Structure 1
Amino acid sequence: MKFLSSPLLSACGLALALAATTASAQVPIKMVLNWKYEGAQAWFFLAQDKGYFKEEGLDVTIDQGEGSAASIPKVAAGAYQAGFGDMNALIDLASKRPADAPVGVYMLYNTPPFALVVKSDSPIKTPKDLEGKTVGGPANDGALKLFPAFAKIAKIDASKVTITNMAPNLREQMLVRGQIDAGFGYVTTVSFSAKGMGLDPAKDLRFIRYGDHGMDLYSNTVFFARSFVKENPKAVQGFVKALNRAVKEVIANPEAGMDAVMKREPLLKREVEKEKLLATLKNDMSHPEIARIGLGDVDDARLTKNITIVVEANQLPRAPETKEVFDRSFMPARAERPSTTSAP
């Protein structure tokens, strides 16, 4: 049997071949988030939905997380190539197991969100008042993980504080019922959980912020497995480029970000999640330094102090160098990154 070729068939064959080549060239990246799907993760979803990751040759899948500190060991263990989580937990692992620790590549939460929350009428007015009290939080909560460091800096006798764990959705309920005297958490997360219970955080709660007591720490960063960074530097650069593009778009148009969030979890209350997104931009991503260095980067002197605080307070075996925990070489140029997180 004889087959006749035609320009049309040749063109179709070429197109299929190119499509197959493009598909096979995509680098797979599994990413784990800091928490369940929520408004403050909008840029990750928008970059995925609008094809920004694919344009960089990446096939990105995004899973929900279980806490800002929990994502670090998941990436270190090889279950994921990328994650979004607490820089301080990353520093802890880098001190203990430098070969396994992931490396930060794009800092998002540059303002410390860590806090202790109490009821507005609580007798706990200062950090020292926590002595003799019961404080609770989810086991993987970033503020809980940092409490030893906070206790040292704020001169709290940690041996006189009782720590208890609970499921994340029970923290505010236990506080209101008096089952705990204070709770560990992020200001934005706790505020919106309280709102979901019908409380007014501004009237019913008070926050003791770590940042107000000498802990001007970085918080959640995007990070990659150390081995992946070494083997796929272009993929890391492409991921950061796509993410930065999406962050700028969400800042300019929060509704576009919310469209992407709601596709992931239609049962979420859109207006609540939008408010959470805007609060995160205002409270967690607005450190004055970004006007100088741009969103995504870190100040080396500040990060060095951050490392020192975490290492000394937790009596870690060594102080990692800044370049061990954060590599800025994958970021877009300064002019391409946001100087403010305020909507235009």
Structure 2
Amino acid sequence: MSINLRRLAAGMAFTLLAAAQAVAAPTPVRFVLDWKLQGVHAWYYLAEDRGYFKDENLAVRIDQGDGSANTVTKVMAGVYDAGFGDVNAIIQNAATRPQEAPVMAYLIYNRAPFALVTRADSPIRSLEDLEGRKLGSPAGGAAMRMFDTLAALNGIDAGKVEWVNMAPNLQEQMLLRGEVDASAVFSVTSYANLLGMRQDPDQGFRWFHYADHGVELYGNGVMVSRKLLAEQPAVAAGLIRAIHRGLMDTIADPDAAIEALARREPLIDREIEKERLRYTLQNVVFTDEVRRIGLGDIDDARMQRAIAQVVDVFGLPATPTVDQVFSRAALPPRDARLVAP
């Protein structure tokens, strides 16, 4: 073979190798959580440890967050491609900026975890007993904002309730001290906080979950940017597949999931975070609806009613459609998403 032919062959080999490496290079995905690391984030790290993102040829960077509503604004700003956050915040943004708001691609909290919690020895035994009582909430807290809807649906005079504002980290303390009669809380957070205070949240407290009393809101899930869904649909689908596998594995083996979380944050209380995870799965993830339609999906009619409730509470200027809020484009098949009764 002549020198020129050898050079040509070497050049072609280099070109083919470079092309192969380019094809094999994983696609970077920037992902943000809703809060600091907790048990409800364990499935993302279990998916990472078990190579599920790698299987989809994705290089996913997972960052901690500072609020489920802020996840939406960060994805809208283009800082992140996807994240774990609140579908109700998507609704609020879709009412004014429908072309910019992200879409929910895999709904995990089938029930928004809003609740009122009171002590077991409290005279509040039904929603009707709330009239004339003091309720605690951080200023502008989502559970407080939704209280008027809860009251209207259940014949309660919201004007007969006195609200006491406090810092989020004082809600359980002020309830225990008797400074408020009940608190409007994010149940999956308050439940774990009470455990951390050496309280028994099941026997020592009474819970009124909004979802049990007519409030139809969904909660947190995996949202993706419209840009990612439109321009890289295979990447969006791969991301959801990997997360779904991590969630299914977490359901099957919570201990392994908590250990994956602890490898990132060794200072977590494993037992409390495992209980937070268990409580979340049982109270806001596993529902009759999920057993019927599978993890990640929604009921369109219910979502439309939920959108209407959010529009009413926040006085939004427009009512988004279900398609502006949720997309099934990246969902795995239903059979793969079904969970045991």
State the TM-score, normalized to the length of structure 2.
0.86
Secondary structure, aligned partner of 1:184? strand
Query: Could you say what secondary structure the match of 1:135 adopts?
Result: strand
Partner secondary structure for residue 83 of structure 1: strand
| Structure 1 residue aligned with 2:3 | none
Asked if residue 53 in structure 1 is aligned to residue 37 in structure 2, the reply is no
Compared CA separation, residues 227 and 149, structure 1 to 2 (3 A): farther
Alpha-carbon distance, 1:72 to partner: 2.0
Aligned-partner residue type, residue 315 of structure 2: Q
Identity of aligned residues (%): 45
Is residue 145–residue 313 contact of structure 2 (8 Å, CA) maintained in 1?
Answer: no
C-alpha displacement at 1:22, in angstroms? 5.6
Give the equivalent residue in structure 2 for 1:258: 258
* Cα pair 2:151 2:157 within 8 Å, conserved: yes
Query: Where does residue 154 of structure 1 map in the other structure?
Result: 154
Measure how far apart 1:217 and its partner are: 2.3
Distance in 2, matches of 1:253 and 1:19, equals: 37
Deviation of 1:133 after TM superposition, in Å, equals 4.3
- Secondary structure of residue in 2 paired with 1:40: helix
The 3-state SS of whatever aligns with 1:284 is helix
Q: 1:245 is matched with which residue?
A: 245
Aligned mates of 2:337, 2:141 — CA distance in 1? 29
SS of match in other structure, 2:79: coil
Tell me: CA distance 1:145–1:222, structure 2 relative to 1, closer, same or farther (3 Å).
farther
5 Å-filtered alignment, 1:261-300, equals: 261-300=261-300
Q: 1:145 to 1:266 in 2, by over 3 A?
A: farther
Q: CA RMSD of the aligned region, Å?
A: 2.8
| Structure 1 residues 160 and 73: alpha-carbon distance in aligned structure 2, compared to 1, 3 A threshold | farther
Is the contact between residue 229 and residue 236 of structure 2 (CA under 8 Å) also seen in structure 1? yes
Q: Distance in 1 between matches of 2:198 and 2:90?
A: 35
Q: CA deviation at 1:320?
A: 1.1
Tell me by how many angstroms 1:310 deviates.
1.8
Deviations 1:166-212 (A, max 9, x none): 44332211221233332222323212211111111123221121122
Change (3 A) 1:39 1:150: same
Deviation at 1:330, TM superposition (A): 0.6
CA contact (8 A) 1:137 1:185 kept: yes
Q: Distance in 2 between matches of 1:222 and 1:192?
A: 22
Shift of 1:286: 1.0
| SS in structure 1 at match of 2:215 | coil
Contact 1:69 1:140 in 2 (8 A): no
Is 1:202 the counterpart of 2:231 in the alignment? no
Structure 1 match to 2:95: 95
SS where residue 328 of structure 1 aligns? coil
Amino acid in structure 1 at the alignment position of 2:180: I
Aligned pair count reads: 333
What is aligned with 2:220?
Answer: 220
Between the aligned partners of 1:14 and 1:323, the Cα distance in structure 2 is: 44
- Give the distance between the partners of 1:175 and 1:253, measured in 2 at CA: 34
* Structure 1 range deviating more: 226-235 or 101-110: 226-235
What is the deviation of 1:298?
0.7
Unaligned runs of 5+ in 1: none
Q: For residues 121 and 16 of structure 1, do their structure 2 counterparts lie closer, same or farther at Cα, with a shift above 3 Å needed?
A: farther
Equivalent in the alignment of 2:306:
306
Moved more, 233-242 or 12-21: 12-21
SS, match of residue 115 in structure 1? strand
SS at match of 2:179: coil
- 1:203-260 residue CA offsets vs partner (Å, 9 max, x unmatched): 3221121122211321112111223322222211110011111111112222221121
Q: Mind listing any 5+ residue stretches in structure 2 that lack a counterpart?
A: 1-5
The TM-score with structure 1 as length reference comes to 0.86
Deviation, structure 1 residue 142: 4.0
Q: Secondary structure at the match of 2:69?
A: coil
Tell me if structure 2 keeps the 8 A contact 1:67–1:142. Answer: no
Q: Which range is displaced more, 149-158 or 40-49?
A: 149-158
Answer yes or no: is the 8 Å Cα contact 1:103–1:226 preserved in 2: yes
How many Å apart are 1:13 and its aligned residue?
A: 7.8
- The correspondence of residues 72-87 of structure 1 with structure 2, limited to 5 A, is 72-87=72-87
Letter in 1 for 2:290: I
